[in-house]
Amino acid sequence: MAQISRWLTSRGLDTDSLTLAGLEEFSSWREDSGYVTSLSIHSAALLCDYLVGVGVITRVGVVVAERPFDEVVLRYRRYLNDERGLSASSVAQYVKASGHFLQWLYLHGDVELRNLNADILNQFIFATSQRVKTTTAGRTIATLRSLLWFFYLEGITPTALAPAVLSVAPWRQSELPKALDAKHVVRLLKSCDRRTASGRRDFAILMLLSRLGLRAREVAGLQLNDIDWRQGELVVRGKGHREDRLPLPRDVGEALVTWLERGRPRCACRSVFVRACVPFREISASGVSAIVRRACGRIGLSPVGAHCLRHTTATRILQAGGSLAEVAQVLRHRSQQTTAHYAKVDRLALVAVVRSWPGGGA
């Protein structure tokens, strides 16, 4: 609403300009102003209907109707759930990205899906990739390819267009994995005020991240019945509904016990980690990463996310003389290529294969 107000003021317009054409112009203004999130005209129309309802405006030229692609998005959601078996968070991300693409098609000539071609697809890629980071552009392309495969399987498009989408150069192997020194990990743990409930929770989360190398979503998804105290094991639900049983180290178990007995509020939620204030619902994956960033701020360290502690776990295994196979086992990698990324920090193994410089020079 604030953005629409600024747009109206900058153009010298009044509320009569809140028509479908006006909102399309507003969407273009947002892109030119540097906003990276796309605007759904459907959502803007709902806002206009609200303004009519409260009497702020008396007339609006927008009729909120079912978008022509809503039914396709609904079918795509069922495909992701039933056929691919993705998690709820992944389904939400894929559906949101597909909505952005279909909305772009609608705003740029309402192209019929059966008439899609490589030129149209790559126009969308160029238009969206210029405003986002490389990793975000890569995720956009991945979700677009998934949607295009769905179109082909459903007979919406006569040909498979997914291979025609251009790729983004990820330069995945160009940098060393970002990891923290052991002393920094110790300082992160000590920065938690374990006299408070939130401090005990944050300490237990940091212990799981740094000792077991769990992902943020795996920590957030832990349930009370996932802890097998008798066997000293932890059930971790990873990507693709995969479940693994990991040994529960003594120090991690002690941190969990302290949080559960002396910090966690009594509530109906079955998640191990819940918010520090009401309503006491499960903490999100982004909330787990926020805990890591706040801990970095307390010790004067440049902020990093939860995944950095996963890299730290792998690096510590290699520095202690472990192998890449052991790293893959602890981090539960499905692909050897993922684990191979850590070969660059295994300096002892790299020294053994280094060839001398021609001519004997340094």
Catalytic residue numbers?
215, 239, 307, 310, 333, 342
Separation CA 292–CA 304 (nearest Å): 7
Residue 42, classified by CB atoms within 10 Å of its CB into exposed (0-12), middle (13-18) or buried (19+), is middle
Separation CA 166–CA 141 (nearest Å): 8
Separation CA 192–CA 181 (nearest Å): 18
- Picking from 208, 211, 210, 240, the residue whose alpha carbon sits closest to that of residue 222 is 208
- Picking from 59, 47, 64, the residue whose alpha carbon sits closest to that of residue 14 is 59
Separation CA 65–CA 106 (nearest Å): 14
Give 136-142 contacts, CB < 8 A, sequence gap 24+.
Answer: 137/168, 138/168, 138/170, 139/93, 139/97, 140/97, 141/165, 141/166, 141/167, 141/168
Counting runs of H as helices and runs of E as strands, what totals does the chain give? Answer: 16, 3
Query: Phi and psi for 352 in degrees, rounded to 5?
Result: -65, -25
Neighbours of 58 (CB within 10 A): 9
Are 211 and 234 in contact by the 8 Å Cβ rule? The answer is: no
Give Cα separations from 3 to 44, 63, 218 (angstroms): 11, 21, 36
Residues whose CB falls within 8 Å of the CB of residue 320, separated by 6 or more in sequence, listed in order: none
Pairing verdict, β 233-237 and 243-247: antiparallel
Give Cα separations from 21 to 24, 26, 55, 73, 99 (angstroms): 5, 9, 22, 24, 20
